[in-house]
Amino acid sequence: MIPLRHTLPLQTTPVVNRALVIANGVVFVTQLFLGQRTEMMINIFGFVPARLVHPAAYGYSLFEVAVTLITSLFLHGGFVHLIGNMIYLWVFGGAVEDVLGHVRYLAFFIVCGVIGSLTHTMLFPQSTVPSIGASGSIAGILGAFLVLRPRARIITLLPLVVYWAMIEIRAVIFLPIWFAMQFFNGFLSIAAAHRTQEVNGIAWWAHVGGFVFGAIIGAFARRRSPERVTPYGPEGVDV
């Protein structure tokens, strides 16, 4: 399922969300220009769980590893990885920024990514595979969106057998399905790691951790500022 947009009106311009999309794009273009040196960049600025657990063994200080929890959010492993993340960020991020406000939204984006990476580390503490991408942050945005805008309609591109269909799906249906897929794949990744002693290329548990944290923050925001949660509409409810 590919989300294209939601049908909610926004009260503010999502300047931070747009800036995050641009920043990720600029960093990716930089990676392309670096060519073969991109791997070195990912190894330095990507987040490696084993480096957090044993920083001295890798010649890092704890502070330097902590910095990679943030820098890793702006690195991506390929065009598909980048586009997939940016589509979700573009579609869902603005509505969450609308509720949280610009500064808090930026902090929320970063903390969700950090929580996601730490969740991944809890499951795979000895992994030496660099974890990169904004997936944990975006998962947090999806969790918050689900709590803040459960009745929002998501215009979705759905692949069928021989063609693509465009349909409207409520967030309360779309997002739990997305989360269930991450959770299921997370368990499969644990089973695969026990069998092969290696971690696969996707940090599914970063998605799970980010989503749960985002939903919790969304619940606090909904309770604290109900007037900002409900968009303007003819019935004063999500439309």
Structure pTM? 0.88
Whether the predicted pLDDT of 190 surpasses 80: no
Whether the predicted pLDDT of 78 surpasses 80: yes
Whether the predicted pLDDT of 66 surpasses 90: yes
Q: What is the pLDDT of residue 234?
A: 41
Q: What is the pLDDT of residue 30?
A: 93
Mean pLDDT of the region 202-225: 89
Lowest mean pLDDT among 45-49, 97-101, 175-179: 175-179
Q: What is the pLDDT of residue 202?
A: 72
Label residue 84 exposed, middle or buried (CB < 10 Å: 0-12, 13-18, 19+): middle
* H-only helix segments in 101-203: 102-123, 135-148, 171-196
Lowest mean pLDDT among 42-51, 118-127, 204-213, 217-226: 217-226
The band of 236, judged by pLDDT with boundaries at 50, 70 and 90, is very low
Name the β-bridge partners of 153.
170
Whether the predicted pLDDT of 233 surpasses 60: no
**Stronger pLDDT, 12 or 198, i.e. the higher one:** 12
The band of 62, judged by pLDDT with boundaries at 50, 70 and 90, is very high
Q: Quick: pLDDT tens for 172-185.
A: 998 989 888 888 87
Query: Strand 164-170 vs strand 153-159: parallel, antiparallel, or unpaired?
Result: antiparallel
Contact 207, 182 (CB under 8 A): yes
Whether the predicted pLDDT of 191 surpasses 90: no
- What DSSP designation does 159 have? E
What is the C-alpha to C-alpha distance for residues 68 and 75, in angstroms, rounded to an integer?
10
Q: Quick: pLDDT tens for 114-167.
A: 999 999 999 889 888 899 999 999 999 999 999 999 989 999 988 776 777 888
Does CATH number 1.20.1440.120 belong to domain 2-229? no
What is the C-alpha to C-alpha distance for residues 10 and 96, in angstroms, rounded to an integer?
10
